[in-house]
A and B are shown apart, each in its own frame.
Chain A
Amino acid sequence: MKPLTAFRLSIKNIIRRPGRSLCLAAVSALLSFALAGGSLLAECLKNGTKSMSDRLGADALIVPGGYESKAQGALLRGEPSAFFFEGELADRLLDSYGIEQASPQLFIATLDSEHCAFPVQMIGYDPSTDFVVAPWLSQSVPGGPAKGEVIVGADIDGRKGETLEFFGSYYLVAGKLEKTGIGFDTTVFLNMDQAREALDDYAGLVGAYIPEDAISTIAVNVSPAVDINDFSRRIRYGFREEDVGVVLTQAMLGNIASKMDSLLAVIRVITMFLWVASIGVLAILFSAILGERKREFGIYRALGASRKKLSALVLVEASFVSLIGSIAGTALLSLFYFSLNALIGLSIDMPYLAPTSAGTIAWLLGSAIIASFLAGPAASLFTAARIGKMATDAIMREGE
């Protein structure tokens, strides 16, 4: 016969009282679900903001005055927008003091009509000066998209080799960007010449006035010696007649980052609170159950079990139930996370949640299981310590 170890005795007890065990496991499951969910959410948020500045790859964007927030919306969330200034002004801007790298871009909003596959942000860029788009190419497209070609963001429905219709013309998908977590994911990129043709089609369809050699933004990297705020001020002052705006990516991201920081702190506090609260709830449950099990432990004691043995029984049982609950809760959360992740992948407006690597996820889930698991034995310590004395008293009394 199999030896009746503390482990086997505990399992038999757990099976014997499925309702009670399930109740305890449910607390652990809830806890691990919350812990795993909280840490995953925090990680995704952190990941989302941390690399956002790297993602944009530019210090500043020079835009027509009044279009700063539209430019942000287009870059961060991929909200289609179109705004322009004259090519002649763009040339003068490019000569500004302190610019180390600069690449002009042309923003066009494709339309929700029969002429376009779908309404997205279309960006024309100049592959020869570009430093923003190229780092994201999943495989190299030498010289950038050629005539009649587009490069698409990760979430654009179109694979390499397929064709997409915009403004009545067909474009071959020449490459795809990796997932960026920002508006680029839902943006279609073409070279500047091609973009100008598309712009003519766009102008024809919407009847808008388009300035000559139009440019929408200039992505700029400022030389290290120049203060970015000085740079911004000088441009805005120097071109006050023409009304030029400057979007500083650092500031735009810093704003988000500081909001994220407080959100992260809140998540952290809530998780800590949940952990402590769960230990409290479990401790109360264990203690209540002890009352119900006095007689049982009294019998163990009468049959020769030491106080240590009784404590071990309580601890092992608490650990076992807590472990099962923790694993179940985390498994449920993973299921949730991965199905949600698939949904986020499809949706356009969650740029701040960047999915993280499988290794990190495994680590986070593992930690959640361990932290939640530990709450079980921790909560039972008090009961385990009390049990020896109570058991002795209970032997005197009858009734199960």
Chain B
Amino acid sequence: MLLEVKNVSKSYKAGISALESTSFNVMGTFNACLTGPSGSGKSTLLNIISGLLPPSSGEVFFDGASLATLDDAALSRFRCENIGCVPQGRSMLASLTVLENVCLPFYLAKKKGDPKDRATELLALMGLDGFSNRRPKELSGGELRRAAIARGLMNQPKLLVADEPTSDLDPANAEAVMALFAKAIDAGVSVLLATHDMNCLKHCSIHLTMEKGRLLA
């Protein structure tokens, strides 16, 4: 796939800019890592790329198509089909079982059929066999993160976006999560992640560094 970020900037409040005119292109099946100090604008950029946050100016293109031209319904549909999300922190919904959580993107995309088999398969791939009917509160942080990755892969997206996926994990679990991203890339899914964890860098094919809302070359 081709991801183009063109002159994207963001200011939450007038005058204070969280992200200054940022541009870059990546293509093929990539594993991109975004690093930088806290408050440098990593999450902001990630959320703009994944279509959750509208930029103040500039545009993001997926395979040549601009996200800016889509209205909320069309954008949501596009995001459902093309972008998998692993939100920061604990993101499993407490009212649903692990299996239901993993299946949720399938239903939000209004797809037809039964996602159970694929969800079970993904959970197995993440080393979570037998966790299907558990509640999120019965899982450890590492297990939750792996389940969230399974959920991000549910709709076979072109791009999987993860914000600090290893931040609250011990080195062994962090390593396991990174190995799972590698598996996703093997399956043709590009990965974009923001992290403070320098151990992640050894797995990535593209390394982007940010500072004070700017992308360093």
Q: Which residues of A contact B (CB under 8 A)?
A: 1, 3-5, 9, 12-13, 15-16, 296, 298-309, 388, 392, 395-396, 398-400
Contact = CB atoms under 8 A, between A and B. Distances in A.
B59 interface: no
Contact of B108 (A16, A296, A305, A398): A305
B111 to A, nearest CB: 10
A211 B125 CA distance: 108
Contacts of B100: 1, 4
Contacts of A388: 72
A296 B52 contact: no
B116 A1 contact: yes
A306 B76 CA distance: 5
A302 B91 contact: yes
Contact of B85 (A12, A302, A399, A400): A302
A104 to B, nearest CB: 77
A58 B115 CA distance: 78
A303 B53 contact: no
B105 A392 contact: no
Contacts of A395: 47, 52, 87-88
A257 to B, nearest CB: 55
A388 B151 CA distance: 21
Q: Which of B43, B95, B115 gathers most chain A CB within 10 Å?
A: B95
A308 B85 contact: no
B87 A304 contact: no
B178 interface: no
A392 B52 CA distance: 6
17 contacts: A1-B116, A16-B94, A298-B87, A302-B85, A304-B79, A304-B105, A306-B75, A306-B76, A307-B76, A388-B72, A392-B47, A395-B52, A395-B87, A396-B47, A398-B88, A398-B90, A400-B94
B99 A400 contact: no
Contact of B52 (A15, A302, A399): A302
B174 interface: no
A302 B87 contact: yes
Given A1-B103, A302-B52, A392-B52, 6 more contacts: A1-B116, A296-B94, A304-B76, A308-B72, A388-B72, A395-B87
B104 interface: yes
B63 interface: no
Interface residues of B, number: 37
Contact of B95 (A12, A307, A396, A398): A12
Contacts of A308: 72-73
Nearest to B107: A4
Contacts of A9: 95-96
Contacts of A400: 89-90, 94
A305 B77 CA distance: 8
Nearest to B96: A12
Interface string B128-157: 000000000000000000000001000100
B63 to A, nearest CB: 18
Given A303-B85, A304-B76, A308-B72, A4 B103 contact: yes
B109 interface: yes
B108 A303 contact: yes
Contacts of B88: 395-396, 398
Contacts of B93: 296, 299-300
A302 B161 CA distance: 10
A103 to B, nearest CB: 74
Nearest to B95: A16
Contacts of B103: 1, 4
A164 B90 CA distance: 81
A138 B139 CA distance: 73
B151 A303 contact: yes
B5 interface: no
A375 to B, nearest CB: 25
